[in-house]
A and B are shown apart, each in its own frame.
Chain A
Amino acid sequence: MSARIFKGHAGIGPRATGEALVADDNFSARYDLNRIEGVFSRPSHKLYGQNYVGKILVLNIAKGGVATAWMFHEMASRTMAPAALLLNYANPIIAQGAAFGGIPLVDRFDGDITKLIHTGDHVTVDPATGEIRVS
Chain B
Amino acid sequence: MKLSDREQAMLAGDLGAARQRAIEQQIQVGRFFDAEDFVAVAQAHIMADTESLGEAGVDFLEDLAAQEKTDNQVCIPTITDPRGADFNQFERINHDPAYVALEQRADKAFRALGILMTDTCINYQTILPPVRGEHLAMGDTGVVIYCNSVFAARTNYEGGPAALAAALTGRTPRYGFHLDQNRVGSRLFHTEYQPKDWSQWGALGGFIGRQMGSYYEVPVLTGITDPPSSDDLKHFGAAMASFGSTALFHMVGVTPEAPDLETAFAGRVPAAHSITSKDLDRFFASYAMADDGLDVVVFAAPQLSLFELDRLAGLLENQQIHDEVSLVIATSPENKRAAERLGLDDKIVASGAVLLEGVCFYQMHARELGEANGWTRLMTNSAKLVNIIGGYGYEPVLAPMERCIASAVAGRIVP
Which residues from chain A contact B205 at a C-beta distance below 8 Å? none
Q: What is the distance, in angstroms, from B301's C-beta to the closest C-beta of chain A?
A: 10
Partner of B390, one of A44, A71, A97: A44
Of B55, B159, B215, B216, chain A has the most CB atoms within 10 Å of the CB of: B159
CA A31 to CA B243, docked complex, whole Å? 10
Given A61-B213, A63-B245, A65-B141, A70-B388 contact (CB < 8 Å): no
Is there an interface contact between B33 and A92, defined as CB atoms closer than 8 Å?
A: yes
Which residues from chain B contact A116 at a C-beta distance below 8 Å? none
Which residues from chain A contact B31 at a C-beta distance below 8 Å? 10
Look across to chain A and name the residue whose beta carbon is closest to the beta carbon of B175.
A92
CA A33 to CA B55, docked complex, whole Å? 18
Q: What is the distance, in angstroms, from A56's C-beta to the closest C-beta of chain B?
A: 18
| Interface assignment of A95: CB less than 8 Å from any CB of chain B | yes
Look across to chain A and name the residue whose beta carbon is closest to the beta carbon of B210.
A63
| Interface assignment of B220: CB less than 8 Å from any CB of chain A | no
CA A44 to CA B391, docked complex, whole Å? 9
Partner of A42, one of B47, B157, B391: B391
Is there an interface contact between B54 and A41, defined as CB atoms closer than 8 Å?
A: no
Is there an interface contact between A61 and B214, defined as CB atoms closer than 8 Å?
A: yes
Interface string of A21-44 (1 = CB under 8 A from B): 000000000111110000001111
CA A96 to CA B35, docked complex, whole Å? 14
Grouping DSSP codes into helix (H, G, I), strand (E, B) and loop, the B interface class, with mixed when no group exceeds half, is: helix
Is there an interface contact between B52 and A91, defined as CB atoms closer than 8 Å?
A: no
Grouping DSSP codes into helix (H, G, I), strand (E, B) and loop, the A interface class, with mixed when no group exceeds half, is: mixed
Q: Which of B24-38 contact A (CB under 8 A)?
A: 25, 28-29, 31-33
| Interface assignment of A110: CB less than 8 Å from any CB of chain B | no
Which residues from chain A contact B185 at a C-beta distance below 8 Å? none
Is there an interface contact between A74 and B29, defined as CB atoms closer than 8 Å?
A: no
Q: What is the distance, in angstroms, from A25's C-beta to the closest C-beta of chain B?
A: 13
| Interface assignment of B411: CB less than 8 Å from any CB of chain A | no
Is there an interface contact between A96 and B29, defined as CB atoms closer than 8 Å?
A: yes
CA A62 to CA B214, docked complex, whole Å? 8
Look across to chain A and name the residue whose beta carbon is closest to the beta carbon of B172.
A92
Which residues from chain B contact A12 at a C-beta distance below 8 Å? 28-29, 32
Interface string of A47-80 (1 = CB under 8 A from B): 0000000000000011111111111011011100
Interface residues of A (CB under 8 A from B): 9-12, 30-34, 41-44, 61-71, 73-74, 76-78, 88-93, 95-97, 99-100, 105
Q: Which 8 pairs show the lowest CB-CB distances between chains A and B? A: A69-B159, A74-B54, A77-B56, A96-B162, A91-B215, A100-B161, A42-B391, A70-B52
